[in-house]
């Protein structure tokens, strides 16, 4: 030891160097950083039951390399163009003044873009107009007359969407509003007493894990003119996050708007929930915010609501408030083909009238 270095200085300098030596030892023992390779996604198309007629078409498109948003729109166009389906598109039940007003929205996961239309009149396929908003503008939503003018600019034809079947249902409703008005009462029909529901949500994932979603509707039958429900609201009627998954909703839109249920469902999946569990959790949240007038004495909902979800791996699930006496189903199409599947549910039986 040098005379210029005291014993105390030697001990102090040696102790200070120990952490560096230990750190170096640990660095030598540590392996190379792990490379995490996510499992491949399995292509799948899921939709509300009303979209069953279009899920195979959508799956074939995406399995052949087509875009996931184009696939979702192709799925929902099938019921939009079917005049016998009174809850979407052509033939949808009108508002209180006998006018069919349509809503739709869509989101494209790969580009993280969105488009929507509300209170659109005279255009059979609002889903396609929403896609045009997404692709060709820096807006997200167009409504009313402006949305129609925009559609015409892109080659859509304005037509009368009120079919004879839907007009007859509206006349029965109007004629039974007040026994003292100037209209003759018309015997109630099944459509009048229980207006059909059938908003269509479709969620698509391809083999690369890219995702899109689309929801379309004619809204609540006999609604106040100008009413917009949850379907054209990104985060409520549908929502896509290309890192996580997609979800959408049908049913009582006013409740769903208050919780942004589609976003909540996707966020649940972000936090690790399986798709069906994510949907059930969103239903419980919707029940929590429901007004007393919408609940029975034992706090069960007088309304029904459904959520549909798919994650980035192609796993899927759906849930509804009530299972129904005959069960509630939704549409699924993957490598096994198109089929109807049961939804998970919170309560047995049908929603109270």
Instruction: Decide if pLDDT at 38 tops 50.
Output: yes
- Confidence label for 22 from pLDDT (cuts 50, 70 and 90): very low
Q: In degrees, to the nearest 5, what angle opens at C-alpha 75 toward C-alphas 69 and 77? A: 100
Closest Cα partner for 250 from 123, 94, 79, 122?
A: 79
For residue 178, what are the contacts with CB-CB under 8 A and spacing of at least 6?
none
- Confidence label for 265 from pLDDT (cuts 50, 70 and 90): very high
Taking only the tens place, the pLDDT of each residue in 46-101 is 999 999 999 999 999 999 999 999 999 999 999 999 999 999 999 999 999 999 99
More confident residue, 32 or 140: 140
Paired tokens of 86: 């009174």
The proportion of the chain whose per-residue pLDDT surpasses 90, expressed as a percent, equals 76
Write down the pLDDT at residue 250.
96
Instruction: Decide if pLDDT at 190 tops 90.
Output: no
As a whole number, mean pLDDT of residues 215-231 equals 96
Instruction: Decide if pLDDT at 33 tops 70.
Output: no
Write down the pLDDT at residue 108.
98
CATH classification at residue 125:
3.60.20.30
Per the structure, the count of domains in the chain is 1
More confident residue, 259 or 177: 259
Closest Cα partner for 312 from 37, 110, 41, 36?
A: 41
Is residue 28 included in any domain, yes or no? no
Q: Give me the domain span that covers residue 323.
A: 44-347
In this prediction the pTM is: 0.86
Is residue 29 included in any domain, yes or no? no
As a whole number, mean pLDDT of residues 238-257 equals 97
As a whole number, mean pLDDT of residues 285-289 equals 97
| Whether 111 contacts 98, CB under 8 Å | no
| Whether 276 contacts 257, CB under 8 Å | no
Instruction: Decide if pLDDT at 192 tops 70.
Output: no
Q: How many CB atoms lie within 10 A of CB 136?
A: 12
Catalytically active residues are: 199
Write down the pLDDT at residue 37.
59
């Amino acid at each position: 030891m040098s005379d210029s270095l005291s014993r105390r200085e030697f001990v102090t300098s040696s102790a200070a160097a120990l952490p560096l030596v230990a750190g170096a030892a640990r660095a030598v023992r540590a392996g190379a950083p792990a490379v995490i390779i996510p499992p491949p996604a399995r292509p799948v198309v899921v939709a509300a039951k009303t979209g069953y007629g279009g899920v195979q078409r959508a799956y074939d498109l995406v399995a052949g390399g087509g875009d996931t948003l184009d696939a979702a729109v192709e799925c929902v166009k099938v019921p939009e163009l079917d005049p016998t389906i009174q809850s979407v598109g052509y033939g949808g039940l009108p508002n209180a003044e006998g006018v069919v007003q349509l809503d739709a929205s869509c989101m494209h996961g790969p580009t993280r873009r969105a488009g929507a239309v509300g209170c659109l009149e005279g255009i059979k396929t609002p889903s396609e107009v929403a896609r045009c908003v997404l692709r060709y503008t820096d807006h997200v939503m167009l409504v009313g007359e402006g949305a129609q003018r925009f559609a015409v600019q892109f080659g859509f034809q304005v037509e009368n969407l009120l079919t004879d079947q839907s007009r007859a249902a509206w006349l029965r409703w109007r004629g039974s509003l007040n026994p003292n008005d100037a209209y003759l009462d018309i015997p109630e029909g099944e459509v009048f007493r229980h207006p059909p529901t059938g908003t269509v949500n479709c969620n698509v994932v391809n083999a690369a894990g890219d995702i899109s979603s689309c929801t379309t509707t004619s809204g609540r039958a006999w609604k106040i003119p100008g009413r917009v429900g949850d379907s054209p609201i990104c985060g409520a009627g549908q929502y896509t996050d290309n890192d996580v998954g997609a979800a959408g909703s049908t049913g009582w839109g006013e409740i769903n708007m208050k919780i942004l249920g589609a976003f909540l469902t996707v966020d649940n999946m972000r936090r690790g929930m399986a798709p069906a569990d994510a949907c059930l959790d969103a239903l419980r949240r919707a029940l929590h915010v429901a007004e007393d007038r919408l609940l029975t004495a034992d706090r069960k909902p007088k309304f029904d609501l459904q959520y549909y979800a798919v994650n980035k791996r192609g796993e899927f699930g759906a849930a509804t408030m009530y299972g129904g006496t005959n069960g509630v189903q939704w549409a699924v199409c993957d490598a096994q083909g198109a089929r109807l599947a049961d939804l998970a549910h919170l309560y047995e039986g049908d929603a109270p009238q």
